[in-house]
Structure 1
């Protein structure tokens, strides 16, 4: 495939995948009016695992499920499940727009983690981007104001877990199929959801909530498949900036479905987070070895 055509295809796949991830969040928030987060994780996990098993069988990759026992695959699955728990819990009180925007701090958190725990070296420009990004988070969270809610810290915790997840993802051996890694993730989410039944009261679901669950499961699997296809179609540094389409889609869904619009301060915070992330990715394209690998092919 011609380089320019591959890039266009990768960009379109990334925009589609990121937007579908936001749709998954919207389905979860709609279901939260009736059922608790743990029930969503459990039922969505069962449905998504069933879909993935069908796809693995169709591709003849069922024997590869033995790689789910790899500690790297298991560690990544647990980290991703914890991300889902924190994010779904957060959107019980937050808009999906604000939560999604805070989650986009993950690439900067990955870079900061590389410095703090892996002794990576980055220049002052990267540190400036990190501080600008976290300033954007502060504008959305609004600590110390009457609008502050401690639940707003959960997406920030999820972003740091994504940083850990990305490091683990980069260490999973190349012979392990991506669908197997995704399957392990859905099973981990399902297990955490079932465990949550011990502390949360589950409720009967009607046809509408069941439809939300189906929509969430399909969009979750589809989002993963599209973003993975995007990274395989073109250079990661070309398609990665377009994952910020998730923020725009989340703002639109918040307004249309939930009638929640971020205030001007929050919009300014979103702009700072995206600007910091885009600057970092742009500089990474110019100087590939200046930043640590961020596990770009790992979902949101």
Structure 2
């Protein structure tokens, strides 16, 4: 087999496995939400993630002590991480899994919009149309002003905004900083907020009635998803593997139907289709332009 084809196939497989791991972690979060408070879930995820990412960083030979972590771009990234995590945990607790999966998949479209506004990137009318079409998809899912509007779905929208700002600021971080170190800094910075949230709610840090098999699995699956994602991106071109990020949406829709008996409506499916089509078209256009200028 040609080496390029082999590396592309490997990257695609790793990306799909990564999205599967993330989707399974999301499903377990929803399952434990009945006995574990959102603040406790966030604390355990960040505490476990801090440990796992620090170990990964050390195994990769990356630095864990860096004065640059207090630069303004990092502080904004930490705040965005907090917003994204709060929105995600609350959404997974209160909103159908398939709905959460569909909304957060619009993140790349919002990142593209942010790159125009904050980084001064030039965008053609085709890309503007793609961004608008994707957000029409989000509106179809959320349905503001309609009888079927569920205000709780705004938690997923909040998470989407947080993830977008996090991804946007990631572009502005020093390129020599290891991904594992960056993930460790974000997890550690988020811990104080999670701890304060628990104290304000009057909960304990370790939920006594929790299923620890599920909780440990959430941490391990989240860390595994990150490792597989990193390995996928490093295996081949990002333009090859990026479209397969949408596998997470497919996994979440299927898991939502099988585990929770969810049945996505017509507007939900239509909105999801618009988001996926918009995202895939935007990636295809970027790949085409790189070929033309390369």
TM-score (normalised: structure 1): 0.89
Of residues 269, 272, 275 in structure 2, which corresponds to 1:273? 275
CA distance in 1, matches of 2:199, 2:148: 32
Aligned mates of 1:169, 1:257 — CA distance in 2: 34
Verify the 8 A CA contact 1:39 1:197 in the aligned structure 2.
yes
CA separation of 1:104/1:67 partners in 2, compared to 1, >3 Å: closer, same or farther?
farther
CA distance, structure 1, for counterparts of residue 48 and residue 102 of structure 2: 27
- After TM superposition, the structure 1 = structure 2 runs for residues 1-300 of structure 1, keeping only pairs within 5 Å, are 2-61=3-62, 63-66=63-66, 69-71=69-71, 72-202=73-203, 205-206=207-208, 209-288=211-290
Cα deviation digits, residues 229-248 of structure 1 (max 9, x gap)? 11111101111000000000
TM-superposed CA distance for 1:5, in Å, is 0.8
Cα distance in 1 for partners of 2:248, 2:21 equals 8
Q: How far does the alpha carbon of each residue in 1:260-282 deviate from its partner, in whole angstroms, 9 at most, with x for none?
A: 12112201111110000000000
Contact (CA 8 Å) 1:35, 1:202: kept in 2 or not? no
Q: CA deviation at 1:75?
A: 3.4
Contact 2:36 2:210 in 1 (8 A): no
Whether the aligned pair in 1 keeps the contact of 2:11 and 2:235 (CA below 8 Å) is yes
Is the 1:64–1:176 contact (alpha carbons within 8 Å) kept by the matching residues of 2? no
Query: Please, which runs of 5 or more residues in structure 1 have no aligned partner?
Result: 291-300
Distance in 1 (alpha carbons) for counterparts of 2:68 and 2:156: 27
C-alpha distance in 1, partners of 2:114/2:58? 38
Aligned residues, how many?
289
Partners in 1 of 2:190 and 2:259 — Cα distance?
26
Q: In the TM superposition, what is the alpha-carbon distance from 1:60 to its structure 2 partner?
A: 4.2
Q: Give the Å deviation of 1:67.
A: 5.4
The answer on whether the counterparts of 2:87 and 2:157 sit within 8 Å (CA) in structure 1 is no
C-alpha distance in structure 2 between counterparts of 1:272 and 1:75, whole Å: 30
Q: Is the contact made by 2:39 and 2:198 (CA closer than 8 Å) also made in structure 1?
A: yes
Q: What's the CA shift for 1:199? A: 3.2
Tell me how far apart the structure 1 counterparts of residues 78 and 291 of structure 2 sit (CA, whole Å): 28
| Alpha-carbon displacement from aligned partner over 1:101-155 (angstroms, at most 9, x marks no partner) | 1111111111222223333321211111112111111111122223212221222
Contact 2:18/2:224 (8 A) holds in 1: yes
- Please give the TM-score of this superposition, normalised by the length of structure 2: 0.90
Contact persistence 2:140–2:268 (CA under 8 A):
yes
Q: Per the alignment, in what secondary structure is the counterpart of residue 286 of structure 1? A: helix
* Distance in 2 separating the partners of 1:113 and 1:174: 20
